[in-house]
Structure 1
């Protein structure tokens, strides 16, 4: 970022075409910054007895070294990676070449759904005031998420209605862990609010506490690497519930994005669901083949990319799953698993590159096709 940008923070009049939409970027509150936004009574009765904004439930091979973050993403003031909008802007937008980034804050699930929703409410106000404001979003590259506790449908709808008209709120962000599965009618008010405002619903993997953590059919996993695989299984079960419980038939314009749940598993899942549908079509009650619902209503982010030793295997999987219809580029900044957009673009089939890197993102989040020019920005395309 140039000195002129730091001082004036005025977007350029000249526009440039959007060529990278990053659908997974993680902003983090500075220490003590979030608490004031959490509404009462939960601010005092619940969260003042819990540390908020300065802990992380995460693990990775280099966790002891850099808390599973990019080592260069720690701000000089000692705060946590993702807490400095200017540093994120420089590393992600200027240096890496992302044009628009979808911000996905973490909302840790509490045992009380109402408390989770109170935290989500606080996060939404914090995000609007510290990232999407005119000072930090002067370049108009940040887009926010309306965080909603899906296990508190009344509170979630209230939050969606409050933020749906915000210029830079581009999606609704939920978690997949709460029970029952998404096909249950209790969640219909959330789907109705999403379709009413034409907002995509994104689901990011999460870590809660006790029974709010993801559980397999045989109980809780033992290790972190178990959990990382479990997230894909969790997403698969939610997809089956959405389809076979008729959610997409009840809400034909509903759109869902699974963030960081991987995606290569969707191909065999579509095959299996279609086979069951053909065998038991009259018993399912749904109107189309399950794979057709997936390709029309569901998208996945590219990170984490399951990369086999033989790249041709990945290329074939991309082709068979029609990746140009269902994938969105994501970097996962500032985590250690960060995927540079230039690196990812090289691993995509040529015919799918533009769809995955930016066109699907523009359509999914209703983004502009051009943004103000930034001096010194790297261009991926």
Structure 2
């Protein structure tokens, strides 16, 4: 029998983008990252620190499926999210996402140099294993330029290296480092991002200073404390960015908080506006904090805080002007996966298109059309 291999090629027909997923987690297969890690970090640090030994997480079914969708593990025995083809089938063809923003796991290290080395390796790995012509033939994957915020100059160099790549859509950093983001120490990173007009996103992660975020009252006791603490961490960074004048220094800077929840931003904006009215003569900012947030900061929808009375969520959506600040996200392949066909039903009708795809297209400078895929589920 003769077998003919046909190269993967995108269709000439194009369809409108109707779902942008802002939070998808690709995972390297065993051994893939090693070739991209520079020495001595490859041998002396990461080669002696198995990732699983440092994980603190007691999510449902963690012992069995590592808090991942059970069906997202590929048949070859590799980890969930390691197969571009399976992710394409489940997320693009079956769930209906048109473009997905890839955010690799953080692989946190205690040493800034090790974090910088890992960021560089993850960028090379994405380019060669997800964004290449073989795996991104359909033009649906968009990568993240992983940047170590602890070393702002090194982060800026990484942005300069990758900002011209056709499929790198954002810069990806962590929220934990001290001091907070409003400190001028980080200006080289913001300057590089705004120079190339590329969005900066922060996905919740374990960082350099603590294996868990460190609130003022001390380390949390349980995973449920830990998950709530991430929102508090993001709130502090929002205040720092606003009150320390970061957006005054970089008026085109765009920040996305990924998986930090979002319902807390409404009372925080109220509180910041109240303080601003009383103390604005001493501040570095010239606009109400709520206006700055709505112009410069966005949040992803997952996790969705869902009260028993849905009308309460509807009021919160309206008051915070969710159509301006929310981006749809699925968190694939985690167990917390939010299917876009489910999520869209819980959004106010007036905000659905903005949240599900228009904000994503604008935030990440994405195309408005993609190659058509026969048999793909469509959210709209």
TM-score for both structures, normalised by structure 1: 0.96
Cα displacement (A) at 1:8: 2.9
- The one-character-per-residue Cα deviations of 1:148-193 (angstroms, maximum 9, x if unpaired) are 0100112111111100100000000000011110011110000000
In the aligned structure 1, how far is the partner of 2:37 from the partner of 2:131?
Answer: 18
Stretches of structure 1 lacking an aligned partner (at least 5 in a row): none
Runs of 4+ in 1 over 4 A off after TM superposition: 52-57
Stretches of structure 2 lacking an aligned partner (at least 5 in a row): none
**Corresponding residue SS for 2:210:** helix
In the aligned structure 2, how far is the partner of 1:105 from the partner of 1:14?
Answer: 31
In the aligned structure 2, how far is the partner of 1:56 from the partner of 1:25?
Answer: 20
Given that 2:33 and 2:125 are in contact with CA atoms closer than 8 Å, whether structure 1 keeps it comes out as yes
Given that 1:267 and 1:321 are in contact with CA atoms closer than 8 Å, whether structure 2 keeps it comes out as yes
- What residue in structure 2 maps to residue 236 of structure 1? 235
In the aligned structure 1, how far is the partner of 2:272 from the partner of 2:208?
Answer: 32
- The one-character-per-residue Cα deviations of 1:55-78 (angstroms, maximum 9, x if unpaired) are 855431221232111111111011
- What residue in structure 1 maps to residue 132 of structure 2? 133
Cα displacement (A) at 1:45: 2.4
- What residue in structure 2 maps to residue 288 of structure 1? 287
Given that 1:9 and 1:135 are in contact with CA atoms closer than 8 Å, whether structure 2 keeps it comes out as yes
- What residue in structure 2 maps to residue 264 of structure 1? 263
Given that 1:177 and 1:213 are in contact with CA atoms closer than 8 Å, whether structure 2 keeps it comes out as no
Given that 1:147 and 1:172 are in contact with CA atoms closer than 8 Å, whether structure 2 keeps it comes out as yes
Given that 1:31 and 1:53 are in contact with CA atoms closer than 8 Å, whether structure 2 keeps it comes out as no
Cα displacement (A) at 1:54: 9.7
Describe how 1:127-276 pairs up with structure 2 within 5 A.
127-208=126-207, 211=210, 213-276=212-275
- Note if 1:338 corresponds to 2:337: yes
Cα displacement (A) at 1:40: 2.0
In the aligned structure 1, how far is the partner of 2:69 from the partner of 2:113?
Answer: 34
**Corresponding residue SS for 1:59:** coil
Cα displacement (A) at 1:236: 0.2
Cα displacement (A) at 1:281: 1.4
In the aligned structure 2, how far is the partner of 1:129 from the partner of 1:253?
Answer: 30
- What residue in structure 2 maps to residue 41 of structure 1? 40
- What residue in structure 1 maps to residue 304 of structure 2? 305
In the aligned structure 2, how far is the partner of 1:32 from the partner of 1:250?
Answer: 42
In the aligned structure 2, how far is the partner of 1:57 from the partner of 1:219?
Answer: 16
In the aligned structure 1, how far is the partner of 2:209 from the partner of 2:153?
Answer: 23
User: CA distance change for structure 1 residues 222 and 43 in 2, over 3 Å: closer, same or farther?
Assistant: same
* Aligned length, in residue pairs: 378
**Corresponding residue SS for 1:8:** coil
**Corresponding residue SS for 2:180:** coil
In the aligned structure 2, how far is the partner of 1:380 from the partner of 1:299?
Answer: 22
- The one-character-per-residue Cα deviations of 1:206-244 (angstroms, maximum 9, x if unpaired) are 024663531001111111111100000000000000010
Given that 1:29 and 1:53 are in contact with CA atoms closer than 8 Å, whether structure 2 keeps it comes out as no
Describe how 1:22-41 pairs up with structure 2 within 5 A.
22-41=21-40
Aligned-pair RMSD on alpha carbons?
A: 1.6
Cα displacement (A) at 1:50: 1.8
- The one-character-per-residue Cα deviations of 1:325-366 (angstroms, maximum 9, x if unpaired) are 000000000000000001000000010000000000000000
**Corresponding residue SS for 1:170:** strand
- What residue in structure 2 maps to residue 105 of structure 1? 104
- What residue in structure 2 maps to residue 119 of structure 1? 118
User: CA distance change for structure 1 residues 198 and 210 in 2, over 3 Å: closer, same or farther?
Assistant: closer
In the aligned structure 1, how far is the partner of 2:259 from the partner of 2:322?
Answer: 16
Given that 1:345 and 1:353 are in contact with CA atoms closer than 8 Å, whether structure 2 keeps it comes out as yes
User: CA distance change for structure 1 residues 53 and 29 in 2, over 3 Å: closer, same or farther?
Assistant: farther
In the aligned structure 2, how far is the partner of 1:232 from the partner of 1:218?
Answer: 15
**Corresponding residue SS for 1:280:** helix
TM-score for both structures, normalised by structure 2: 0.97
Given that 1:57 and 1:207 are in contact with CA atoms closer than 8 Å, whether structure 2 keeps it comes out as no
**Corresponding residue SS for 2:281:** helix
- What residue in structure 2 maps to residue 78 of structure 1? 77
- What residue in structure 2 maps to residue 51 of structure 1? 50
